[in-house]
Structure 1
């Protein structure tokens, strides 16, 4: 398909009841179109990815605002 393009979006969802019950920690951070997965065991081993759209729906504060980037 000539001229076709794909847009990719990512969303961080709220924890489910099982994750809440286990007191899980959110290891995702968003800044603009960049989403970073934080390795809690090795801080230097974080992975970052760029997406066309990033949506923050998680319930914890401090990682990103609740708006689309």
Structure 2
């Protein structure tokens, strides 16, 4: 199942001039991952195409 990009995420991407492809690349191959079992979430870290470090927050709804 493909990830669901929320309206909140899309707004933040526009504010920060980050492309959806950058987020999808981080989801596919994060350079680091921090799991929060209490909130059932992950913070995934990676890089944008133009070299900026980004963090993508992901909630585990499974």
TM-score under structure 1 normalisation? 0.24
Higher helix share: 2
Rg bigger for which structure? Answer: 1
